[in-house]
Amino acid sequence: MEGYRHAHTHAHDNPHPHPHPHPHSHGDGHRHASRPHSHVAADKVDAAMETSREGMRTLWISLAVLAVTALLQAVTVGLSGSVALLGDTVHNAADALTAVPLGIAFVLGRRAANRRYTYGYGRSEDLAGIVIVATIAASAVAAGYVAVDRLLHPREVTHLGAVCAAALIGFAGNEWVARYRIRTGRRIGSAALVADGLHARTDGFTSLAVLLGAGGAALGWPAADPLVGLLIASAILLVLRDAAREVCRRLMDSVDPALVETAEAALRAVDGVLGTGQVRMRWIGHTLRAETDIVVAPHLTVVQAHELAVAAEHALIHAVPRLTAATVHTDHPPLDHRTAEAQFPASQGPAPAPGG
């Protein structure tokens, strides 16, 4: 932006809930202690650590549920030879295995920022999302291949009662895991965990489709089972599209526009802020970081502008959920020559150019 500019960054990466003054350094070498303030953002950093623990807990519990589900279905596949159930079992096994890259990402996300990774390791979760998308794609290809092979080489499906029971078990296990992962993912701001939950939900509905294959086989139509297998593969492709879109948006620093509107409203409500510029946000793991410009009166001193930046930063952290750090740039409206001469007499040196 044009004119006088002051940047204030206040990233609360050292959690401590008690209020106390902080010294701040500026580019002109001036240091001073800002007014004491409560560390709301520090509380959010503590909450971010808790969300990592909550994410890990969700992963391991859902992994156990899906592993048991897949094991029961695998035994039934061996007995019955059902291709539709095999595709559903591959689903469940792949969904369980996606807990591994997510778990690694959650562990990495706890590591502190350093001079190489100055924003920390939160982006590892986005990389895990890519692995999950690749796993979903691989399971779709595997299920489709086996279904096509069974259409070309028919085989009788036996133990239809066990196949139906395994299908219902698959639906129940996947739907429970889906609800658990989606709920936790949205609460902690994890796009990868939400994508994983959507995958599990689709697996649940495809488990019900296995019943159609078993019903067709019971009626003497052996092609019903592999056709349902192809239907399951198609359903995986649909969830692949949704999961890939969610992960790609996060990789492109996409945020909910409502968060930007909330931030702009919070800045405009700060006493002394004459206007706002662009508000930029991005997710780093489970937490948000923001950078914004505010317009202040041109007669403010550096100290006054700094205090106003602190107030604006606090307003943002109070208003925007999961925001733990903000950089606030201060600027003033453009000055015409007459106003500049009145505010900057010749004895004080040359007046700045309009807008400069």
pLDDT per position as a tens digit, 275-294: 998 999 998 877 889 999 99
Residue at 88 is within a domain? yes
- Sheet with 275-284, strands from edge to edge, namely 6-11, 323-331, 287-295, 275-284
Q: Which of 251, 283, 315 is the last residue of a domain?
A: 251
Residue at 76 is within a domain? yes
pLDDT per position as a tens digit, 129-164: 898 888 888 878 877 887 888 788 777 778 888 888
Q: Which residues in the chain come in under a pLDDT of 70?
A: 1-52, 335-356
- Both 225 and 76 in one domain: the answer is yes
- Both 231 and 318 in one domain: the answer is no
pLDDT at 282: 92
Residue at 130 is within a domain? yes
Scan for tokens 């702009």, then name that residue: 264
Count of residues in the chain:
356
Residue at 237 is within a domain? yes
Query: Can you give the C-alpha Rg of the chain in angstroms?
Result: 28
The pTM of the full predicted model, rounded to 2 decimals, is 0.64
Give the range of the structural domain holding residue 323, as residue numbers without chain letter: 6-34+255-348
- Both 213 and 89 in one domain: the answer is yes
Cβ(288)–Cβ(282) below 8 Å = yes
